[in-house]
């Protein structure tokens, strides 16, 4: 049996981050790569592709443009190839529909021969043979049910995140207690034949679901509840100077801070990361105002500063939810038929990372140390890198999940692997100077 050929890069997971890397690597002849994803095809947040919902970053934050505006895989070329350039010209906006971004990414994925879907990576084994280190990547073909093995000089972990569901709330049917990641899959069941629907959370996803259900309330006839632990329903900071934290310059500044200082800084950036777009809040309020002309035809209850603590099923088949108003330090109850949890996501770290735990440097019990070039820090330095674009908020700041910085991350990794500047790494990109850095 011959040994598998060794790739320079094997990418695990094909979300927007690794898909962008695959697109940027496609014309690079001296860097071999292959990417795997367990899904049958590319789908980007399919449960939240609500009609009318827009991407929260400009279209320039596509898969390639910040590194190579001339790339075949740019969003503008996608428009050109689909005869949509004039429509987009008259559309005259920088933000694009979320469903269009998904379609654009699918168009890119369909053209990349080194992206393989329906392939689940089950293990990554740290190997050393004849003095040479490499990673053995074990892949299960989900359709053929066969196991394949590949060798890689470097691995890029792009396994993304998984829904974060509070303890106890995952014990009930998913069609009754729905995470926003599955919202559209269960939407029809939410709007038909129910008296009370509860939405938990206050970010953009919660607001979009609330607006979508509010728009359909007249035909559904349900009472809509919206509860958040946040002290208010705050707008996303969209000031141009404030947005400069989503830049390579700020990443450099943030990464050089101590772990303790980085921990202190992240909450200060909350309004830049987790608020609701002004347009969405305005649409919600305007609709609420119009509905208030005829009181009680569209009942709505909105509460902030409330933790959703426990949930119990009643004898009537409904759900009794216990909430705690933490400013008044008082409990109250809400009885509903359905719930939508906009409770966010947590990093999806595969089990094989745990197998390497003793070899890695950790910043605390749960978060590994990540170098500036997005490689994991090993206790013993090694030439073969394990890069990650997952679980890096603590190391690289608020832009860790920002699409606008995805190309920058990929550029850094590609140049590191190639040992040369395949793509130019941008510096001095904004007007601010962070910290005491020089001009």
CATH number at residue 60: 3.50.50.60
Residue given tokens 């995140």 in the structure block: 161
* pLDDT computed for residue 335 by the predictor: 97
- Determine the Cα–Cα distance for residues 279 and 94; give it in Å rounded to an integer: 14
What is the spatial distance between Cα 291 and Cα 296, in angstroms, rounded to a whole number? Answer: 9
Least confident range of 50-54, 181-185, 211-215, 234-238: 234-238
Other beta carbons within 10 angstroms of residue 437's beta carbon come to 12
pLDDT at 100 over 70: yes
pLDDT, tens digit, 9 for 90 and up, residues 306-326: 999 999 999 999 999 999 999
Nearest in space to 106 (alpha carbons), one of 19, 11, 17: 19
Choose between 322 and 274: higher pLDDT: 322
Residues 170 and 188 in one domain: yes
DSSP-based three-state secondary structure for 255: helix
Q: Are residues 171 and 30 in the same domain?
A: no
Average pLDDT (48-52) is: 93
pLDDT of residue 2: 47
Domain annotation covers residue 129: yes
The better pLDDT of the pair 309, 267 is held by: 309
- For residue 3, name the pLDDT band (cuts at 50, 70, 90): low
Same domain for 188 and 323, yes or no, is yes
Q: Name the average pLDDT for the chain.
A: 93
Q: Which of 83, 93, 13, 97 is nearest to 53 (CA)?
A: 97
Domain co-membership, 70 together with 214: no
For the segment 371-376, the average pLDDT, to the nearest whole number, is: 97
Same domain for 174 and 154?
A: no
pLDDT at position 438 is 65
CA distance linking residue 147 with residue 123, whole number of Å: 11
Containing structural domain, residue 378: 6-160+348-418
Residue 399 has what pLDDT?
Answer: 84
- Give the distance, in angstroms, between the CA of residue 76 and the centroid of all CA atoms in the same chain: 23
β-partners of residue 7 are 152
For the entire predicted model, the pTM comes to: 0.94
Note whether residue 264 is domain-resident.
Answer: no
* Mean pLDDT of all residues in 21-31: 97
Together in a domain, 218 and 316: yes
Q: Which helix (H) or strand (E) holds 39?
A: none
| List of residues 6+ apart from 40 with CB closer than 8 A | 117, 118, 142
Give the mean model confidence (pLDDT) for residues 347-358. 93
SS3 387: strand
Structural domain count, the chain: 2
Domain annotation covers residue 203:
yes
The conformation of residue 141, written as its DSSP 8-state character, comes to E
């Amino acid at each position: 049996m011959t040994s598998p050929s060794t790739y320079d890069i094997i990418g695990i997971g094909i979300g927007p981050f690794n898909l962008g890397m695959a697109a940027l690597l496609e014309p690079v002849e001296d860097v071999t790569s292959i990417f795997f994803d367990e899904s049958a095809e590319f789908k980007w947040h399919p449960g939240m592709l609500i009609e009318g919902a827009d991407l929260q970053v400009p279209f320039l934050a596509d898969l390639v443009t910040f590194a190579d505006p001339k790339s075949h895989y740019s969003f503008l070329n996608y428009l050109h190839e689909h005869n949509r350039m004039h429509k987009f010209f008259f559309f005259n906006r920088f933000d694009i529909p979320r469903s269009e971004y998904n379609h654009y990414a699918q168009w890119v994925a369909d053209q990349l021969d080194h992206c393989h879907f329906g392939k689940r990576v089950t293990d990554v084994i740290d190997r050393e043979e004849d003095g040479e280190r490499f990673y053995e990547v074990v892949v299960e073909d989900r359709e053929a049910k066969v196991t394949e093995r590949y060798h890689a000089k470097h691995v890029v972990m792009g396994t993304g995140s998984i829904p974060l569901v509070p303890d106890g709330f995952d014990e009930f049917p998913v069609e009754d207690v729905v995470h926003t990641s599955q919202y559209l899959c269960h939407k029809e069941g939410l709007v038909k034949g129910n008296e009370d629907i509860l939405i938990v959370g206050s970010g953009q996803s919660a607001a979009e679901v609330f607006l979508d259900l509010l728009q359909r309330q007249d035909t559904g006839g349900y009472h809509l509840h919206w509860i958040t632990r946040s002290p208010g329903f705050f707008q996303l900071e969209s000031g141009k100077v404030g947005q400069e934290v989503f830049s390579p310059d700020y990443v450099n500044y943030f990464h050089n801070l101590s772990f303790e200082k980085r921990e202190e800084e992240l909450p200060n950036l909350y309004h830049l990361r987790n608020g609701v777009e002004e347009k969405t809040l305005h649409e919600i309020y305007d609709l609420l105002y119009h509905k208030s002309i005829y009181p009680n035809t569209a009942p709505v209850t909105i509460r902030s500063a409330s933790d959703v603590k426990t949930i119990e099923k009643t004898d009537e088949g409904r759900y009794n939810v216990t909430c705690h108003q933490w400013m008044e330090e008082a409990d109250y109850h809400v009885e509903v038929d359905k719930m939508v949890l906009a409770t966010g996501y947590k990093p999806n770290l595969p089990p094989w990372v745990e197998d390497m735990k003793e070899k890695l440097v950790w910043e605390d019990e749960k978060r590994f140390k990540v170098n500036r070039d997005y490689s994991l820090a090993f206790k013993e330095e090694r030439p073969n890198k394990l890069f990650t674009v997952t679980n890096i908020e603590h190391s690289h700041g608020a832009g860790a999940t920002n699409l606008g910085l995805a190309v920058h991350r990929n550029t850094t990794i590609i140049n590191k692997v190639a040992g040369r500047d395949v793509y130019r790494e941008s510096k001095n990109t904004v007007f601010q100077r962070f910290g005491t850095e020089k001009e």
